[in-house]
Amino acid sequence: MAAETPFVPVKLKCPFCETESVQRYIKSRMFQNDIVEEDSHVATYKWENVEFAQIRPNFYHIWHCPNCHLCEEKEIFRGEDNSGGKLELIKEKLLIYSRMPNSLITRMGLVIDFTTDIYSIDSVIVAHLLAIYEQELLSPNMRQFSRLARFYLRLAWLYREKESLGLPDSKLPDNYATFKDFLASFHEEWPAIPLDEPTALQVALERYQDILNHASNGDVKFEINVMNLIIAIHRRCGRNAEALKMVRGVFTAATKARQTARAAIQKGVNPGPNQGILNFCAGIIDKSTTLSEELGELVFKEEFPAAKEAITKLGAIDPNSVADKLRQLKFSEITCRRVGKMFEKQGGKK
């Protein structure tokens, strides 16, 4: 008997152009996430059946209409639109551009081949780029931050996988030497096209920051999860000082939420959910305390030589004002305090 396949083909009509096509998703009960990196990237999956070990479920996240080149998540293809009319605006533009043979949408869209069960990473990368490009057809204030944040982060993961798994380029259109050359050819029409992991991560971070800046519903779990992703991205990009600042932000947010939840419990307001928040915050406070110490050491090591040099350059200085001087020079708080203390102890000797 043939082994059960993990693919579920779905025949459905495109919500934009109504062309029928077959899309796929993966049966989630057939695999488990194995190694998950800090920024939620699943580095390895554990399959029930080792025959499927090469399949990467994240490749099946974005669906693609072969006619109008709509690239979106399956919910949109199934007609679950919660964009408040924004999708209609994208549709209008997409239906025009996808009929133009030389438009970016047509040229990219024609490269995507989702006709067989196994997708090439290049097709998947292009599908993610188009999903981003199509969302960015909206003016900046109309765009859905959470969608874009997710798409950019997932794109960064794909660039990472292409490198770390050594996935080769697939057949390229128009005699381009490499897949990257092909993507770079869109630079003129799309100056900010993200062509590598660091660029995609940076934009993901900015969109997650947008989510935080616009968060208004007071859902502390959601906000802290977003902040944790931002920390992970900063760390991945080697910006420990920025990560440390955000860790402090997480600590403050969790401490505040804990106080609010405690007060509510004392008044007998929603004791169940508030106890849940208390437990959640306790875990977060523990974790951010440890992470803050770990990052603090790293940041201090990184900044110490420059801080010492800056103080030496200042010449004669009151040892008690060293910390403040360093704060003015935008050093991290941990560096200001530690170097400040060193100078206080030495009584100004350098």
SS3 64: strand
Cβ 117 to Zn ion, closest distance in Å?
Answer: 21
Cα–Cα distance measured from residue 158 to residue 330, given in angstroms and rounded to the nearest whole number:
35
CB of 92 to Zn ion, least distance (A): 13
Which lies closer to Zn ion via its Cβ, residue 16 or residue 331? 16
Binding residues (CB under 5 A) for Zn ion: these are 14, 16-17, 19, 65, 67-68, 70
Query: What is d(CA 151, CA 157) in angstroms, rounded to the nearest whole number?
Result: 10
CB of 134 to Zn ion, least distance (A): 11
Phi, psi dihedrals of residue 239, rounded to the nearest 5°: -100, 80
**Of 128 and 235, which has the nearer Cβ to Zn ion?**
128
Q: Which is nearer to Zn ion, 19 or 328 (CB)?
A: 19
Q: How far is the CB of 177 from Zn ion (least distance, A)?
A: 31
Q: How many CB atoms lie within 10 A of CB 199?
A: 16
CB of 327 vs Zn ion, minimal distance in Å: 56
Both tokens of 15, joined, read 């919500």
Give 16 or 343: the residue with its C-beta nearer to Zn ion: 16
CA 51 to CA 87: how far, in whole Å? 39
Distance (Å, whole) CA 157 – CA 152: 9
Structure tokens at 22: 């077959």
Shortest CB 110 distance to Zn ion, Å: 14
Instruction: Specify the residue for token string 């000797």.
Output: 349
Closer to Zn ion by Cβ: residue 19 or 54: 19
How far is it, in rounded angstroms, from Cα 103 to Cα 98? 7
Query: Considering beta carbons, is residue 69 or 236 the nearer one to Zn ion?
Result: 69
Q: Measured between alpha carbons, how far is 329 from 343 in angstroms, rounded to an integer? A: 17
Q: Min. distance of Cβ 23 from Zn ion in angstroms?
A: 11
Of 244, 122, 243, 98, whose CA–CA distance to 182 is shortest?
Answer: 122
65 vs 148, beta carbon nearer Zn ion: 65
